[in-house]
Amino acid sequence: MRKSHKGFVFALVLVVALLLSSTSLITAQETKVLRTAYLPGDVIIDPALGTWMNEIQLVNMMYIGLTTLHETTVEIQPGFATDWSVSDDGLVYTFNLLHDVPWVRYDMGAGEVVQVTDENGNVRVVTAHDFVYGINRTLDPDTGSQYAPTLARWVVGGMEMLAGEDVELGVAALDDYTLEIRTPRPAGYLGMIYGMWMSRPHPQWAIEEYGDAWTEAGNIETYGPYTVKSWEHDVQITITKNPFWPGTDYVPPAIIDDFEFVYLEDPAMLAAFEAGELDWIPTVPLPDLDRMRVEYPDELRITSDICTYYYGFNTIIEPTDNVHMRRALSMAIDRATVVAISNGGQIPAGFFTRPDVAPGLKQEDYPDMAIWSDPEGAKAELALYFEETGTTLEDLPPITLMHNTSAAHAIIAQAVQQMWKETLGIEVQITSQDAQVFNETLRRDAPAVYRAGWCYDYPDASSFIGDVYRSVGPDSNNHTNWGPQEFFDLLDEAAVETDTAVRRDLYAQAEGWLVNEAAAIAPIYYYTTQQMTQTYVDRTYDAARLEKLNTWDINR
């Protein structure tokens, strides 16, 4: 009786709502909301300022780059540019842009996404001029963009502008829908760099009106499949579907209406997921994986990541200044066991550069170049060390293994400590440092062995070995103090080589030099991503971890 009564009231409400506004009823009925979480740490969604995964993911959904990456192969494909051409000398890139894509913002008062209009009431559409403004703003030293140098090196006048000089950039709008970028040097992967988040168009009028507050909900203007609906800093951010994004073959229009991101630590995320409060969690605490594998086999999915875990050696302090010692330490690391302890399906690494980035360097294809776990080989190398230095185990100077503080790093360090003790008889001391102190320590005087990790910015070896080990010194990311000029030359040659097979050989040669012959670093494993998604979510997994949220759907 009560039930039917309720039903009657509900029907009445429906009818009234229908009379008032038919459109709002339909959206209310069909609203699909996906609830998810980010690790604590508020995002920055200014495309010029974003630096980490969560931020780039949101930026990618709101500002489509000139080029995008294929979801599984991470190969370059069209984005906001429908096609592009490169001059014969490789110095001029000409992009043809999508037509009539409007700038939009979320109107808080109206509760819906609206098109942005100019002072004359005309809809503002994304043009090549917005790209020119965006790139200029990124490279403006006052903007303080952390990724500006990655772009500046590849735009004529970029480095000068970033250094505060008054120069004209090599970026021009040939007409409203044709963008030209000129580079001082050619390289095969520039199409990717011009598609990165710091190379996107910015809404000049909004930035001039709102200043620093231009990315706040209600102010921010975007054009991609999603835009910001609400944003309480450090609490939650919600993005909502932009109905005005026309959709292309490569970037289809959004299906799910809203994505709600709350900020939670990963154990809290997992609890919320288990309680059914979240539909997707982008990370799972590693210690819980065993239980997840049996309790949520359909929800859990382990996919590739974009980072490599490795140990670096300081090659100018004893005893790691000796190549035999470094090779002994590296070969004595039982990578399969480390992976088993880490328990997240990570892949033992024989090279620094991941195999899933261009040009596709696989350790199996270059067995003589890669470094392999080999206890006997390690012992032989140690014997060579003692022979060369005329010392014995007792004379060995103390070795410190330092990592930035984290439970996971501590576990791996202790496992490796044990391996070195058992295989080589070498006792090392583990020390951990607060992350920032650790960074500074590496710059100034790195310990004999230090933990490190690297994630690519764009999926190419030039963003791996070609970025980290192209230089040496306190201002670089190479803290090994190792880096002969011939090695740098080899990397430069590989960077601009256009034939993929030749390029792969060149990088294999460089990797072999770095991780095997000189053993300046000991690659340990390639990271994986552990995610849990409720089974009613119809989703894809992006190999570069920048999920294409616009292609997801919910089927309850």
Partner 1 sequence: MGQYFAKRLLYLFGVLIVVSVITFFIMHQVPGGPFSREKQLSPTALANLNAKYHLDDPLYKQYLDYMIDLLIPTITTGEKTFSVTDNYLINFDIPGSEDTAFRWINFGPSYRSQTRSVNDIIREQLPVSAKLGAASLLIAMVIGIPLGTMAALKKNTVYDYFSMSTAILGVSVPVIILGPLLKYILAVELGWLPTQGWGEFKHLVMPAFALGFAQSALLARLTRASLLQVLNEDYIRTARAKGLRQRQVVIVHAMKNAMIPVATVIGPLFAALITGTFVTERVFGIPGMGSYFVTSIQNRDYSVIMGTTLVFAFFIVIANFIVDLTYAWLDPRIRLS
Partner 2 sequence: MSATQISEQPSTASSHVLHLGKQLADTTTRSPWIDALRRLRRNRAAIVGLIVIVVNVIAAIFAPMIAPHHYETQNILAMNSAPQWVTDVFPKMVPTGETGGYIRVNNDYILGTDSLGRDLLSRIIYGARISLSVAFVGPFFSLLVGTVFGMIAGYTGGRVDNLMMRFVDIMYAFPTLLLVILLMAFFRASFTAGDEGSIAYRLNKIDSAFGGMLFIFIGIGLTSWMDTARLARAQVLSIRQQEYIDAAISIGARDTTIIFRHVLPNILGPIVVAESMAIPRYISFEAFLSFIGLGVNPPTPSWGSMIADGSNALISFPNQAIFPALALFFVMFAFNFLGDGLRDALDPRSNKA
Q: Where on the chain is the footprint of partner 2 (CB under 8 A)?
A: 267, 271, 285, 287-288, 290-291, 293-295, 317, 337, 340-341, 400, 404-405, 407, 410-411, 413-415, 417-418, 429-434, 437, 440-441, 444-447
Would you say 164 or 247 has its CB closer to partner 1? 164
Would you say 128 or 465 has its CB closer to partner 1? 465
Give the one entry of partner 2, partner 1, none that residue 372 binds, where binding means its C-beta sits below a cut-off of 5 to 8 angstroms depending on kind.
none
Give the one entry of partner 2, partner 1, none that residue 288 binds, where binding means its C-beta sits below a cut-off of 5 to 8 angstroms depending on kind.
partner 2
Instruction: Kindly state the DSSP code that residue 124 receives in the 8-state scheme.
Output: P
Q: Say whether residue 300 binds partner 1 (CB under 8 A).
A: no
Chosen residue from 185, 233, 291, 421 binding partner 1 by CB under 8 A: 233
Beta strand 300-313 pairing with 449-455:
antiparallel
Task: Return the number of other C-beta atoms located less than 10 Å from residue 311's C-beta.
Answer: 22
User: How far lies 349's CA from each of 495, 501, 536, in Å?
Assistant: 22, 21, 35
Sequence-distant (6+) residues with CB within 8 A of 101 are 80, 125, 126, 223, 244, 245, 246
Applying the rule CB under 8 A, the residues between 104 and 163 that interact with partner 1 are: 141-149, 152, 159, 162-163
Q: Say whether residue 453 binds partner 1 (CB under 8 A).
A: yes
Residue tagged 């570069």 (tokens): 544
Give me the least distance between CB of 547 and partner 1, in Å please.
Answer: 21
Give me the least distance between CB of 346 and partner 2, in Å please.
Answer: 15
For residue 289, give the nearest of 534, 543, 532 by alpha carbon: 532
Applying the rule CB under 8 A, the residues between 202 and 231 that interact with partner 1 are: 210-216
What is the helix (H) or strand (E) element at residue 81, kind and residue range?
strand 81-86
Would you say 297 or 390 has its CB closer to partner 2? 297
Q: Give the end-to-end CA distance of the chain in Å, rounded to a whole number.
A: 29
260 beta partners: 35, 238
HEC assignment per residue over 344-412: CCCEECCCCCCCCCECCCCCCCCCCCCCCCCHHHHHHHHHHHHHHHCCCHHHCCCEEEEEECCHHHHHH
Longest alpha-carbon distance in the chain: 95
Give the one entry of partner 2, partner 1, none that residue 233 binds, where binding means its C-beta sits below a cut-off of 5 to 8 angstroms depending on kind.
partner 1
Give me the least distance between CB of 461 and partner 1, in Å please.
Answer: 17
Give me the least distance between CB of 433 and partner 2, in Å please.
Answer: 5
Give me the least distance between CB of 41 and partner 2, in Å please.
Answer: 17
> Which tokens sit at 153?
């090196």
Give me the least distance between CB of 271 and partner 2, in Å please.
Answer: 8
Binding mask 252-291 for partner 1 (x = CB under 8 A): ----------xxxx-xx--xx-xx-x--------------
- Applying CB under 8 A, the span of 57-65, 348-356, 421-429, 430-438 interacting with partner 1 comes to 430-438
* Backbone conformation region of residue 218, classed left if phi is above 0, alpha if psi is from -120 to 50, else beta: left
Q: Say whether residue 41 binds partner 1 (CB under 8 A).
A: yes
CB 79 within 8 A of CB 65: yes
Would you say 331 or 419 has its CB closer to partner 2? 419
